[in-house]
Amino acid sequence: MAHLLWDMIESAGLSRTLTDVAVAVAEDARDCKRKKVVAGRAQLLAAIGKKTAVLLVGNVALEGVTAKRGIKQKRGRPWEDADGNIYIPCLPPGMIAYDERTTPLIEADVRLIADVAKSGKIPRENALEFTIVDSRRKFDDMVADLRGTVSYDIETGYEESPGLWKATLNPWKGHVDEDGEWVLDARIISIGFGTRARQWCLPLHHPEATSFGLTHEQMFASIDRQLRDCYLVAHNAKFDSLWLRIHYGVDWRADFDTMLAHWMIDENQRHGLKLLAQLYYGAPNYDADLDDKAGAGPLGSHCLYLAHDVYYTRALRFTLGKEMAADSGVERAFHSILMPIARLFVDVEYQGVLVDVERFEEAEVYLRTKLKKAEKDLHKAVAADVEGYEPGSINWRSTKQLAELFFDKLGLDVLDRTGGGAPSTCESVLKRLAHPAAVDLVEYRGADQMLKMFIDGWRPFLVKHADGWRLHPSFKLHGTVTGRASCERPNLQQVPRDSLIRSLIGAALGWSLVEIDLSQIEMRLAAELSGDQMLLGLFQRDEDVHWMTAIREIGRGGGMRDEVVTTAVEFVKRHPGTPWLKGLVSGLDKPKPKGQPFYRASIEYAQALEIVYKMGPDVAAEILPVWKELRKKAKAINFGYLFGMWWKKMVIYARDNYGVRLTDRQAQESRKVFFGLYPGLASWHERQRKHAQRHGYVRSLSGAIRRLPAATSHRDSPERGEALRQAINSPVQRFACELNFMVLLQLVEEFGLDVVRPVGTVHDAVLMEVRDDMVPTVVARADEIMRRPKMLDELKINLRVPIKGEAKVGPWSKGVSLDRWKKSRSN
């Protein structure tokens, strides 16, 4: 590693200026045991002596001097000791071998070394012109300077105990006071603005902040007025805008988010501001300690840090703007979809979702009881088979201990292994283990999972408002490589589908929760993009593609004879007048034979299957519930094969999810049938793969790009295979969620936040609170918008496949159609 770095230094033409540099290198961090580090440290300290610069290459070298690790955080930030030695922590160049994304960082390290060697000093950002606003005069100057393109950034924290400031990213952090009111503990420590000429740092709750005759409210009123005509730029603007909205009531919407812009430019990279500053401008690693940002450190260094942030944020707006302009598709998707939805998500997160806390407590009691019972059953079941077993000796949450129990002590067969090769104890294995304890463990895990994720997991995030308790999940618009949003703290997108937890989420009094979702959107888009005639035809005739697959799957093997015939017969009995039955059931118009149902004999399997298909899954499920399950299974088949699943995995999938035993042959056959049914999909797969292989990327209809560099490799590898499958999946997944965003944007644009309050998205669905008196209007309009969002016209995107969606009104998972909602309200 030392040689590698030295080569880089030499090729930068620096070796002669660096004769006075000691290089402290850990040859291999992993082999370096503690003793060796200590020895190395003594050597190192001796070597440092009169040197002007010390390179600390890698974690062990860093630890040798500072007794602390964390090279990734510390790198690029040199410091000077009392004797004037300069220490420069850097990444080991060998790191490039297993993470090529570190290349620019290592290059930046070399540049930094060069700088230090030439000047003998730690470089300063000399373009910086920052002012700490600590007087009325400076404040007025600042306000007057807020013109044109202005970047902004805040530092946040809270006072844990008097005088002790800690970092927090949660703008709602607070507590309930004696009067039962929610009091915010979170504070905006300071705010910075970057203009063409300067960087302004306005301390707000920093301990050293001085008062100069203006309240914060007065300051923000002035700033707010001035900013209305500015082009606002921020890095992860949603964060700053949300905090400012909560704490100062100002509504600032960024025109350009540098983090999101960089994500559009390369979703595979990381998007941190410090990283980008180093990447694009060779900036020093100016990152500060987390608690300094929160106000624990001196105001001077706090503001210096803030100044760097707004300086580089503003600079990035121009650099990234230009870079994005090189690709009109990317630019268009950024400005017409991403920035608008990013601005809207400030409202989404500000609103939060309402939680029924009374029923929340009930759910907790229910789950704790269930957990207790499962634990008791577990004890019993294990005690019966294990000699000398003592309750409490096994941690039921430990996969390691469970594996020992099942496969060593009880001697059960290892049915599957984990990715790491350990005997698996996952649900699908447990269900196949012939032991009562396995059954109990499934129960235990179920209750435990709900409790830890949604009861204990939610509690710290509950915030009290005038209209009830709310969660304010944070959405990451850059959270995926495909364009979907992800969600965290807590993750609203992983709430179980069954109603125990899901229905705790509702709406305020006078409002109703409305969920609209785009039906089978990924399948529809696959039809669109592939141009498969069968799929397109299905959707154009408004038939159900999963149902089609389900019926085909059964029909192929002639399975479920009883269910098929029973369901068809029952349907004929219930709906004899159905027009399309004519011709399908021979003898319908003939007189009924005495004593027996006339149709029983005359409905053949093939006919019956046709009838079942035509009645659709909902009607069929009313007759036999099994149809619902069957359609779900078909859905999995569709998605699996659609995106490149191989038959072998299908066998496992069918077994684990549906208890269906498929032979290898059957699975191979089912895959063949699938692509036989939709031949256009196969050729589309080929097109996508070819494109990715040739160009190294694929594109969504919106213009956004998914970069797949691994796809261009000529060598066949697992990475390339993965990239080629992503080439098929990404454009579908991306455009699906973009459509969802379009629908959401248009709804809010048309009705305004007084009528429609969006509270979240779940990939192809929107959750919102709708004012009760407007529910029918909004739902009707949502139905129209989903069929054709106007942004499709603006972006000149034409779809052959019809899009449609569904709306449900009422607590989540208990929502009903608009008609049923109206009826239930009129009673």
Residue 226 identity (one-letter amino acid): Q
162 binds DNA (CB under 7 A): no
SS (H, E, C) 422-451: CECCCHHHHHHCCCHHHHHHHHHHHHHHHH
Does the protein bind DNA through residue 487 (CB under 7 A)?
yes
Q: Which stretch binds DNA (CB under 7 A): 380-388, 534-542, 636-644, 660-668?
A: 636-644
Taking contact as CB under 7 A, which single stretch among the options 202-210, 297-305, 569-577, 724-732 is the one that binds DNA? 724-732
Q: Taking CB under 7 A as the rule, does residue 765 contact DNA?
A: yes
Least distance in angstroms from the C-beta of 32 to DNA: 8
- DSSP secondary structure letter of residue 255: S
697: helix, coil or strand? Answer: strand
Residue nearer to DNA on the CB measure, 399 or 602: 399
736, 766 contact by CB (below 8 A): no
User: What tokens appear for 454 in the block?
Assistant: 């949604």
302 vs 671, beta carbon nearer DNA: 671
The reply on whether position 817 binds DNA by CB under 7 A is no
Say how far apart CA 126 and CA 281 lie, in whole Å.
Answer: 12
Both structure tokens of 456: 């204990």
Q: Is 170 in the site for DNA (CB under 7 A)?
A: no
Number of residues that bind DNA (CB under 7 A): 70
User: Beta partners for 774?
Assistant: none
CB of 236 to DNA, least distance (A): 14
Regarding 490 and contact with DNA (CB under 7 A), the answer is yes
Look at residues 78, 68, 101 and name the one whose alpha carbon lies nearest to residue 21.
Answer: 78
Closest approach of Cβ 396 to DNA, in Å? 8
Q: Out of 271, 302, 484, 552, which residue is the one contacting DNA (CB under 7 A)?
A: 484
Question: Does residue 397 touch DNA according to CB under 7 A?
Answer: yes
59 vs 151, beta carbon nearer DNA: 59
- Identify the H or E element spanning 44: helix 34-48
- At its nearest, how many Å lie between DNA and the CB of residue 727? 9
CB nearer to DNA: pick between 383 and 481: 481
Query: Are residues 549 and 634 in contact, defined by beta-carbon separation less than 8 angstroms?
Result: yes
Closest distance between DNA and the C-beta of residue 63, in Å?
7
328, with CB counted inside 10 A (0-12, 13-18, 19+), is exposed
> Which stretch in 185-193, 369-377, 729-737, 777-785 sits in contact with DNA by CB under 7 A?
729-737
Contacts of 798 (CB under 8 A, 6+ apart): 792
- Tell me the closest approach of the beta carbon of residue 531 to DNA, in angstroms: 20
- Asked if omega into 298 is within 30° of 0 (cis), the reply is no
User: Using the rule CB under 7 A, is 519 a contact of DNA?
Assistant: no
- 323 versus 522: smaller Cβ distance to DNA: 522
Classify 657 as helix, strand or coil: helix
Determine if residue 159 is left, alpha or beta; phi over 0 gives left, psi from -120 to 50 gives alpha, anything else beta.
beta
Cβ atoms 706, 267 nearer than 8 A: yes
**Contact between 61 and 67 (Cβ < 8 Å):** no
**Is residue 494 a contact residue for DNA (CB under 7 A)?**
yes
Question: Is 481 near DNA (CB under 7 A)?
Answer: yes
How far is residue 575's CA from residue 590's CA, in Å, rounded to a whole number? 17
| Binding flag, residue 393, DNA (CB under 7 A) | no
- State the Cα–Cα distance between residues 274 and 525, nearest whole angstrom: 38
Q: Kindly tell me which of 282 and 457 has the beta carbon lying closer to DNA.
A: 457
For residues 797 to 816, the per-residue mask of contacts with DNA, x marking binding by CB under 7 A and - elsewhere, is --------------------
Q: Determine which residue in the list 81, 456, 467, 819 makes contact with DNA, applying CB under 7 A.
A: 456
Q: How far apart are CA 650 and CA 663, in angstroms?
A: 10
What mask of x and - would describe binding to DNA in positions 4 to 43, judged by CB under 7 A?
Answer: --------------------------x-------------
The residues facing 90 across adjacent strands are 57
Least distance in angstroms from the C-beta of 617 to DNA: 17
Nearest-approach distance from CB 423 to DNA, in angstroms? 8
Interface stretch with DNA, choices 136-144, 554-562, 643-651, 748-756 (CB under 7 A): 643-651
Span near DNA by CB under 7 A; candidates 156-164, 291-299, 493-501, 614-622: 493-501
Instruction: Provide the residue type at 497 as one letter.
Output: R
Please choose, out of 125-133, 253-261, 279-287, 485-493, the segment that lies near DNA by the rule CB under 7 A.
Answer: 485-493
> CB burial class (10 A; 0-12, 13-18, 19+) of residue 177?
exposed
Site for DNA in 413-442 (CB under 7 A): 418-422, 424-427, 430, 442
Q: Is 453 in the site for DNA (CB under 7 A)?
A: yes
Q: Measured between alpha carbons, how far is 610 from 443 in angstroms, rounded to an integer?
A: 40
DSSP state of 111: H
Member of 168, 226, 486, 602 binding DNA (CB under 7 A): 486
**Among residues 123, 174, 457, 468, which is the contact residue for DNA, using CB under 7 A?**
457
389 forms part of the interface with DNA (CB under 7 A): no
Rank residues 438 and 572 by Cβ distance to DNA and give the closer one: 438
The 51-70 site mask, x for binding DNA (CB under 7 A), equals: ------------x-----x-
Contact criterion met (CB below 8 Å) for 525 and 737: no
Task: Map 255-306 to HEC letters.
Answer: CEEHHHHHHHHCCCCCCCHHHHHHHHHCCCCCCCCHHHHCCCCCHHHHHHHH
The smaller minimum CB distance to DNA, of residues 522 and 769, is found at 522
CB of 572 to DNA, least distance (A): 34
Does residue 392 interact with DNA by CB under 7 A? no
Residues in the chain: 827
Q: Which residues contact 579 (CB under 8 A, 6 or more apart)?
A: none
Query: Nearer to DNA by C-beta: 448 or 610?
Result: 448
From 229, 289, 390, 498, residue interacting with DNA (rule: CB under 7 A): 498
Which value, in Å, is the radius of gyration of the alpha carbons in the chain?
A: 32
Which stretch, 18-26, 214-222, 395-403, 778-786, contacts DNA (CB under 7 A)? 395-403
Buried b (16+ CB within 10 A) or exposed e, 106-135: bbbbbbbbbbbbeeeebbebeeeebbbbbe
Strand segments, DSSP code E, in 415-571 are 463-465, 468-471, 474-476, 486-488, 505-506, 511-518
User: CB of 273: closest distance to DNA in angstroms?
Assistant: 18
368 contributes a contact to DNA by CB under 7 A? no
CA 696 to chain CA centroid, nearest Å: 24
For binding to DNA (CB under 7 A), which residues are involved? Answer: 30, 63, 69, 395, 397-401, 403, 418-422, 424-427, 430, 442, 445-446, 449, 452-453, 456-457, 476, 479-482, 484, 486-491, 493-498, 517, 636, 639-640, 643-646, 648-649, 653, 716, 718, 721-722, 725-726, 729-730, 733, 762-765
